[in-house]
Amino acid sequence: MWCLSGLSVALALALVPGPAGALKEGECEVCVTFLEKFYQQLKDNKATFNSEDIEKEIIKSCRDARGKENRFCYYIGATSDAATKIINEVSKPLSYHVPVEKICEKLKKKDSQICELKYDKQLDLTTVDLKKLKVKDLKKILEEWGESCKGCAEKSDFIRKITELMPKYAPAAARARTDL
């Protein structure tokens, strides 16, 4: 009798889904953030929630994506140079209003690289000493702004370009720097 009840308890525990498939805090950061913004954009624009329209909208949103979000778009096949296409794994669940965390969880099973994407740490331009940054970091600042520094050969050229453009892209940081 005890053997039978122990077996039934073990069977019941085996059938209860565990937290193994659930996303941990901070996991799939880019996926969750991008899809939340995208879903909110669809709701704000009162878009029709059918799979084909959502797919077209994802491709349109991915044209403007930069950095890690562009890499996410590449992984799901929403860019023109993507090798694989699993965009329907995003568009179909979104058309049924499935939570983005669940969509990212499913994408993680298809391609683990999607959940390995993390945003770069943001620099506080109000306090950072640009002279102490590496050229790579200075280039990254310009890239995030969608700018380039043609003809820049030295670190001082990049710093000059950033301080020139700072009022346009980071006005609060530019004001704080002039107050110093």
CB 69 within 8 A of CB 34: yes
The pTM of this model reads 0.68
Whether residue 94 lies inside any domain: the answer is yes
Whether residue 137 lies inside any domain: the answer is yes
17 pLDDT band, cuts 50/70/90, is very low
Q: What CA–CA distances, in Å, run from 2 to 7, 8, 16, 46?
A: 8, 10, 21, 59
Q: 80-130: per-residue pLDDT in tens?
A: 998 888 999 999 999 999 999 999 999 999 999 999 999 887 788 888 899
Residue 144: domain span: 130-176
Domain match, 106 and 145 both:
no
How much of the chain exceeds pLDDT 90, in percent?
53
pLDDT at residue 5, rounded to an integer = 52
Domain at 60, CATH number: 1.10.225.10
d(CA 104, CA 90) in angstroms, rounded, equals 8
Total domains in the chain come to: 2
**Closest to 124 measured CA to CA, from 108, 137, 115:** 137
Q: 40-67: per-residue pLDDT in tens?
A: 999 999 888 899 999 999 999 999 888 8
Domain match, 37 and 109 both:
yes
Whether residue 124 lies inside any domain: the answer is no
